[in-house]
Chains A and B, each alone.
Chain A
């Protein structure tokens, strides 16, 4: 096509800039689609709140776009993104000392409508989520990465920057506490 020939032969800086802009937009779109919801869930798991999620997402994905070294794989990219997002969460946690949780209904602009399910199932779902959210942060994050993101222990260790032994210990302690908290609520269906 003529346009493409012009881009490749004319050496016009403006065309190259346009092309770079298209590439950047495509890459930004890809990152947002791939990680925005994940970062939202991570923010909630860390901060008991989705209020800062958009800022954390923006900061994290901007770093990913600015990164010059290529990722080894999609798994490597995902672990890196999670790591940066977790550091941003910890930064906010330290600075704002947020204690109270914010329910989803307080941020209707950010979050898409949830699928309605039976009331009883909703209650059990709320109990399980509440139990996980009452765990200490280090255990909570390990449970989230294992049971929602379905990471293997070695990948969790990589994302958290700790040893595999530490991850295994946190998962074990998290499961033990959850079993105690959910006794009488879920019965034989406990499978954390």
Chain B
């Protein structure tokens, strides 16, 4: 009698395309290549499985490269081609510039060490440090702008060593990955420290794709301070998880979001994040309990090369029933910055672009209503291998993304809306991005053309 695996294989062996179907497929493939002119050329037609989005009625102006504020060379971007489905597609080339060499050297220094467990902590390669959090990180992605190893930055106190392992970011935000390891090599007992909901489900720190995640731990520092360029970041968050319960370390992920212009001028050198963590404790509904009463202070160089990938703008989309023109679209491995001008006046302004004068703050309800009125419906990043990452909008019945970071008014009285969206659990190599799709309008159950 056949075993289950044999029966399974036999069942699937019955799936085979008929020879005439295969022959037809070869013909179509060759015809598609001939239409493009040569193998490897850009496909001017949308694939059959494309998504229908509002048609861009105004052809964009072809614009050249805008100089970066610091005058440093930017990645070369060719003018994008207007497409029927309103996708912004970059057919770019990349410059090499001096800072990329520095990042590569740091990476090579880190990769020279084989993954190993040492008594003083866990030393891991950059790829391993990032891959727990973001899924497998290829060597090519790790060498791109926005990613850097942080060799030799650690601090020991109260029997624990905090080691910065990698930093990922751009001019607006960064993520620092640390390991926190026991000096004596004893394993961290985290089995009873998983954060759980009322139903008993663990809260998970999302990792990579396919829903992989590590449980968040009921571990926290009683005090956390971070300064960049002498100033506190606008937002900071901290999460602890345990990638390998059998080793003597847990992982710490810190996200810092900088204020607009906070780091202007800082990128001519290598800015550093001065971080200070105090008193590690566990917490539950009854209070806190100290695990290690120590203080860990580090200077973490933000040694990534922050050269955001710029898409030339000009795309027209529909927002709240009004036409809106995208005036800026930039991507880094960890975030997306979008700015657009809406053909209507804002009812309130807020954030960095607020023009309502000192002391006049709109109430939260007004801000929320205006944000909803002028918000984008969705924003997706489409990778070259076809993967689609929803950064803003409804994804599997859940809302992802955030409200606009600011709404302002330009000289013509039009609303200027800015989003600074983080790729919450991904490191994306901008070179692998095929397109950014804004306001993807999909009608459920309807097959696209």
A interface, CB within 8 angstroms of B:
20-21, 24-25, 27-29, 31-33, 36-37, 40-41, 44, 50, 52-63, 65-68, 80, 83-84, 87-88, 90-92, 94-97, 104, 109-112, 114-115, 117, 121, 124-126, 128-129, 132, 138, 144, 147-148, 157-158, 160-163, 166, 178, 182, 186, 189-192
Give the CA-CA distance A65 to B49 in the complex, in Å: 18
Least CB distance from A23 to B in Å reads 8
Cβ of B445 under 8 Å from chain A: yes
Least CB distance from A46 to B in Å reads 12
Name the interface residues of B194-218: CB closer than 8 Å to any CB of A: 207-212
A interface footprint on B98-134 (CB within 8 Å = 1, 0 otherwise): 0000000000000000000000000000000001100
Residue of A nearest to B209 (CB): A161
Q: Provided the pairs A36-B25, A62-B29 are in contact, do residues A95 and B51 lie with their beta carbons within 8 angstroms?
A: yes
List chain B residues, Cβ under 8 A from A88.
Answer: 49, 386
List chain A residues, Cβ under 8 A from B36.
Answer: 66
Task: Select which of A110, A114, A121, A182 is within 8 A of B17 by beta carbon.
Answer: A110
Least CB distance from A182 to B in Å reads 6
Determine if B49 and A59 form an interchain contact, defined as CB atoms under 8 angstroms apart: yes
A interface footprint on B124-156 (CB within 8 Å = 1, 0 otherwise): 000000011001100000000000000000000
Name the interface residues of B385-435: CB closer than 8 Å to any CB of A: 385-388, 396
Determine if A182 and B4 form an interchain contact, defined as CB atoms under 8 angstroms apart: yes
New A-B contacts (16) at CB < 8 Å, excluding given A65-B33, A186-B3, A191-B5 = A32-B22, A36-B22, A61-B25, A66-B41, A110-B17, A110-B18, A121-B2, A125-B11, A128-B7, A129-B11, A158-B136, A161-B208, A162-B210, A162-B212, A186-B4, A190-B4
23 example contacts (A-B, Cβ-Cβ < 8 A) are as follows A24-B34, A32-B29, A36-B17, A56-B49, A59-B47, A62-B33, A62-B43, A65-B39, A68-B40, A94-B388, A104-B15, A110-B21, A125-B7, A125-B8, A128-B11, A129-B7, A147-B5, A161-B136, A163-B207, A186-B3, A189-B3, A189-B4, A190-B3
Determine if B18 and A84 form an interchain contact, defined as CB atoms under 8 angstroms apart: no
Least CB distance from A11 to B in Å reads 17
B interface, CB within 8 angstroms of A:
1-5, 7-19, 21-22, 25-26, 28-30, 32-34, 36, 38-41, 43, 47-49, 51, 131-132, 135-136, 207-212, 383, 385-388, 396, 442, 444-445, 447-448
Determine if A114 and B14 form an interchain contact, defined as CB atoms under 8 angstroms apart: yes
List chain A residues, Cβ under 8 A from B18.
Answer: 109-112
List chain A residues, Cβ under 8 A from B39.
Answer: 20, 24, 27, 65-66
Residue of B nearest to A157 (CB): B136
Residue of A nearest to B48 (CB): A55
Least CB distance from B246 to A in Å reads 11
List chain B residues, Cβ under 8 A from A21.
Answer: 30, 34
Task: Select which of B8, B131, B385 is within 8 A of A129 by beta carbon.
Answer: B8
List chain A residues, Cβ under 8 A from B26.
Answer: 25, 28-29, 32
Q: Provided the pairs A66-B39, A121-B2, A189-B3 are in contact, do residues A61 and B29 lie with their beta carbons within 8 angstroms?
A: yes
Interface of A is mostly: helix
Least CB distance from A159 to B in Å reads 11
Give the CA-CA distance A152 to B388 in the complex, in Å: 26
Give the CA-CA distance A126 to B209 in the complex, in Å: 31
Determine if B212 and A163 form an interchain contact, defined as CB atoms under 8 angstroms apart: yes
Q: Provided the pairs A129-B11, A161-B136 are in contact, do residues A57 and B25 lie with their beta carbons within 8 angstroms?
A: yes
Give the CA-CA distance A110 to B22 in the complex, in Å: 9
Q: Which 7 A-B pairs have the closest CB atoms?
A: A87-B386, A114-B14, A129-B11, A28-B29, A166-B212, A128-B7, A191-B3
Determine if B9 and A147 form an interchain contact, defined as CB atoms under 8 angstroms apart: yes
Determine if A192 and B4 form an interchain contact, defined as CB atoms under 8 angstroms apart: yes
Best-buried of B3, B25, B26 by chain A (most CB within 10 Å): B26
Residue of A nearest to B32 (CB): A62
Q: Provided the pairs A28-B29, A84-B385 are in contact, do residues A40 and B17 lie with their beta carbons within 8 angstroms?
A: yes
Least CB distance from B191 to A in Å reads 16
Residue of B nearest to A114 (CB): B14
Determine if B209 and A160 form an interchain contact, defined as CB atoms under 8 angstroms apart: yes
Give the CA-CA distance A32 to B212 in the complex, in Å: 32
List chain B residues, Cβ under 8 A from A124.
Answer: 2, 7
Residue of A nearest to B448 (CB): A95
Give the CA-CA distance A57 to B29 in the complex, in Å: 10
Residue of A nearest to B213 (CB): A166
List chain B residues, Cβ under 8 A from A65.
Answer: 29, 33, 39
List chain B residues, Cβ under 8 A from A109.
Answer: 18, 21
List chain B residues, Cβ under 8 A from A31.
Answer: 29
List chain A residues, Cβ under 8 A from B48.
Answer: 55, 58-59
Determine if B19 and A112 form an interchain contact, defined as CB atoms under 8 angstroms apart: yes
List chain A residues, Cβ under 8 A from B12.
Answer: 41, 44, 129, 144, 148
List chain A residues, Cβ under 8 A from B43.
Answer: 62, 66
List chain A residues, Cβ under 8 A from B17.
Answer: 36-37, 40, 53-54, 57, 110-112
Q: Provided the pairs A97-B444, A161-B136 are in contact, do residues A148 and B9 lie with their beta carbons within 8 angstroms?
A: yes
Residue of B nearest to A51 (CB): B447
Least CB distance from B272 to A in Å reads 31
Determine if A189 and B1 form an interchain contact, defined as CB atoms under 8 angstroms apart: yes
Determine if A58 and B25 form an interchain contact, defined as CB atoms under 8 angstroms apart: yes
Give the CA-CA distance A53 to B385 in the complex, in Å: 17
Give the CA-CA distance A121 to B211 in the complex, in Å: 36
Give the CA-CA distance A122 to B135 in the complex, in Å: 40
List chain B residues, Cβ under 8 A from A161.
Answer: 135-136, 208-210, 387
Residue of A nearest to B47 (CB): A59
Task: Select which of B4, B210, B385, B388 is within 8 A of A178 by beta carbon.
Answer: B4
Least CB distance from B414 to A in Å reads 34
Residue of B nearest to A20 (CB): B38
Task: Select which of A87, A148, A186, A192 is within 8 A of B387 by beta carbon.
Answer: A87
Q: Provided the pairs A87-B388, A128-B11, A160-B209 are in contact, do residues A58 and B28 lie with their beta carbons within 8 angstroms?
A: yes
